[in-house]
Amino acid sequence: MSSSERPTEQVKRSEMDNSANQDATSHWFKNPNAGQFAVFEKSSLKDPARTRSLPLYQSRDTFLKTHHTADSILLLCKVFNMSPSALGAKTYSIAAIPADGIGPEVIDAGITALNALTDTLKTFKLEFKNYDWSSETYKKTGKYIPDGGLEELKKHDAIFFGAVGAPDVPDHISLWGLRLAICQPFQQYANVRPTRVFRGTESPLRNCNTGDLDWVIIRENSEGEYAGQGGRSHTGKPWEVATEVSIFSRHGVERTIRFAFETAQKRPRKLLTVVTKSNAQRNGMVLWDEVAKEVAADFPDVTVDKMLVDAMTTRMVLNPKSLDTIVATNLHADILSDLAAALAGSIGIAPTSNLDPTREYPSMFEPIHGSAFDITGKGISNPVATFWTAAEMLAWLGEEEASKQLLNCVENVCEKGVLTRDLGGSANTKEVTDAVVEEIKKLGSK
């Protein structure tokens, strides 16, 4: 901020008392001639010392640079009597790919909640474009993604994905045809999987309450065991051979581990556990350990420990409080994160973000679960994983405040006991979604 923009002048308490507009929580002072204004909390009126030191802002841009939060933007709209869009509230373009099984149900619930949030907050907008790429499309056309489809996707700010997989299509065809066909070319190399026990839900572990299990698993998402290298010879013969080759590149390992350190550094405990299997897998996993040690030197404030993946499963179950941020390979973290979700109560609550941290390509956000054939069409799928996914997407887009508010609304609904069957409740998808929308609407009156 240049010195001319810096808020240096102070509001005189007498002026403020006379001129302040009011709303429920905040006040502002506006000097129409000079075009200056100050924003202050109602509670500060009783505290002359705090109000005397209030900065005066010359323009709304200066204010926004200093306090870019949803609340600040709303306040500014009131000061200048403008709509959020006139203040430059952003519109984000979202590609929705509901795909298969319960994917369409949960994505529909997610879009409903997001629309309620944007309608209530009015600080940014979301525009959804639906893509009907699914196993049905594959069965009709032979392709999950039509020609030019990836170019289309690149135009969006983010991708909101349901799940892919159908009983009559082999799983490796569906996964490689749609999900991995997006993750890999878009270099979404960091797969982020947070887990925690929500208020109002229960871990199957004894003595594991809200706050006792609060992890983020970072999964390498572009190579490793899912690199797609290998082949089959003598198919169908008794001497058939198949190879599945894991690829660990220094580049791929380092960027993932660095991302994990950055994630750990932003969390209060600054604790990272690096998971490998470097006793038995003596090449790729030893490279992981070595790279982790090198990268650790750049993060002296992060405490690092190291676990073998088999021992990690027991630590997750027996001592969940001892963990915070976890980094592991594509396969190991895939398995550990399903265990993590179950330990937090259900796979129906866990989100995942497939991030391109360079932001060259749009990142993709999806619930961790699959298409759940056993409950498809029954209207009972848990939409919480998709709500949390939506919150992760908002945070990635830069709408951190809205993200926190959405997640808080979801947790409030869990705390009220509006839970689907997988969490021990009896509510259906629509009832949980309606309850979340009601909770979101309350944000408008705060």
Ligand X SMILES: NC(=O)c1ccc[n+]([C@@H]2O[C@H](COP(=O)([O-])OP(=O)(O)OC[C@H]3O[C@@H](n4cnc5c(N)ncnc54)[C@H](O)[C@@H]3O)[C@@H](O)[C@H]2O)c1
Residues that bind ligand X (CB under 6 A): 102, 163-165, 171, 174-175, 179, 347-348, 366, 369-375, 381-382, 385, 420, 422
Decide whether 114 or 302 has the Cβ nearer to ligand X.
114
- Looking at the DSSP bridge assignments, the partners of residue 351 are 367
Q: Which among 253, 203, 258 is positioned nearest to 227, based on CA atoms?
A: 253
- Tell me how far, at minimum, the Cβ of 432 lies from ligand X, in Å: 10
- Tell me how far, at minimum, the Cβ of 177 lies from ligand X, in Å: 11
**How far is residue 400's CA from residue 69's CA, in Å, rounded to a whole number?**
8
- Tell me how far, at minimum, the Cβ of 351 lies from ligand X, in Å: 11
E-strand stretches of 1-133: 21-22, 26-31, 36-41, 91-99, 125-130
Buried b (16+ CB within 10 A) or exposed e, 17-52: eebbeeeeebbbbeeeeeebbbbbeeebbeeeeebe
- Tell me how far, at minimum, the Cβ of 174 lies from ligand X, in Å: 6
Beta strand pairing status for 214-220 and 190-196? antiparallel
Decide whether 105 or 324 has the Cβ nearer to ligand X.
105
- Tell me how far, at minimum, the Cβ of 169 lies from ligand X, in Å: 8
**Which 8-state DSSP code applies to residue 55?**
B
Decide whether 375 or 406 has the Cβ nearer to ligand X.
375
- Tell me how far, at minimum, the Cβ of 197 lies from ligand X, in Å: 17
Cβ 316 vs Cβ 335: under 8 Å: no
Decide whether 276 or 382 has the Cβ nearer to ligand X.
382
- Looking at the DSSP bridge assignments, the partners of residue 353 are 192, 365
- Tell me how far, at minimum, the Cβ of 422 lies from ligand X, in Å: 4
Decide whether 45 or 335 has the Cβ nearer to ligand X.
335
Give the position of tokens 């099984």: 101
Decide whether 276 or 420 has the Cβ nearer to ligand X.
420
CA distances (Å), origin 366, targets 97, 159, 419: 10, 8, 20
- Tell me how far, at minimum, the Cβ of 365 lies from ligand X, in Å: 11
Backbone phi and psi for residue 365, each to the nearest 5 degrees, phi listed first: -120, 130
Decide whether 39 or 410 has the Cβ nearer to ligand X.
410
Decide whether 325 or 354 has the Cβ nearer to ligand X.
354
**How far is residue 84's CA from residue 386's CA, in Å, rounded to a whole number?**
27
Write out the DSSP string of 57-88. Answer: BSSHHHHHHH--SHHHHHHHHHHHT--TTTTT
